[in-house]
Amino acid sequence: MVHKSFLKFSKKLNEHPSVRRRYKEQGQAGSLFCIVCGRSNSKEFMDTQRLVTHAYMSHKFGLRADHLGLHKAICVLLGWNSIVPPDTITWVPHVLPGDEALTQKEDLILWPPLVIIHNISISNSDPEEWKLVTIEALGAFLRGKGFGGGKFKMCLGKPADHSVMVVKFLGTFSGLEDAVKLHKYYAGNNHGRADLEKINYNNGKSSSSTEAGMQPDKPEEVVLYGYMGIAEDLDKLDFDSKRRCLIQSKQEIRELADAPVKPD
């Protein structure tokens, strides 16, 4: 029950950037209330730590699992350790190293699995520098790279100006592996999430427009960056895709896939 609530609240916290910012900025971006208790029954919390402490300590009848699920969801969002020893009496936040915090977040994948593709040229202030890649061109490019074996659908993300596109895979074990394969393709060619963040940090300037094995004469090879969608990427989806998708644990799905089959 706690895990189910954790996944549910992980989606609620990330559906809107303004909501996520309110939690991450420790209440400086707006009032904080307990969404388990409900705004009408919740006191206002001065910062996120006080709210998370309430979620862990609250024993309101029938709401214990939801409170613990909210506690874990906020901890993951803020990069705090989400695992609390069972004998803990008073909870205090434990900030995780960057790589461990990222591992927590990357386990919360959007489901059915999908890969978010960014066209970095569209962010250029000079329209003449834009290299438009259509949905059809992206599909042909992916199939040419050997990604046509698994079934996938594509649509525009948000904003719908071809700067963000979404590749949706089947909600199956094989669909997950296809999404992971595409994610690794971009990461392996220095066109993954971390590389995109570096470009955004450098005001849209790429340190290297051509990577090993990539063809500079093809815009799809140069301007597209991609990564598997996680909970914090919900705001990059169109309204319908956001409404339909779920948050799942990638580790949990893989454990199910690797579980031995019980004989009859």
Helix (H) or strand (E) holding 99: helix 98-106
User: What is the tens place of the pLDDT at every residue in 86-116?
Assistant: 887 788 889 999 999 999 999 999 999 999 9
Domain boundaries, the chain: 1-96, 107-258
Q: Is the model's pLDDT at 47 over the cut of 50?
A: yes
What pLDDT score was predicted for residue 15?
92
Q: Could you say which DSSP state residue 30 is in?
A: S
Name 114's Cβ contacts closer than 8 Å, sequence gap at least 6.
Answer: 166, 167, 168, 169, 179, 228, 229, 241, 245
Amino acid at position 47, single letter: D
- C-alpha to C-alpha distance for 77 and 102, rounded to whole angstroms: 10
Q: Is the model's pLDDT at 14 over the cut of 50?
A: yes
Amino acid at position 142, single letter: L
Q: Is the model's pLDDT at 56 over the cut of 80?
A: yes
187 or 123, which is more confident: 187
- C-alpha to C-alpha distance for 51 and 27, rounded to whole angstroms: 10
Q: Output the pTM of the full model.
A: 0.87
Q: 3.30.70.2890, 3.40.50.970, 3.40.50.2020, 3.10.20.30: which CATH number matches 107-258?
A: 3.30.70.2890
Write out the two tokens for 52. 């998370």
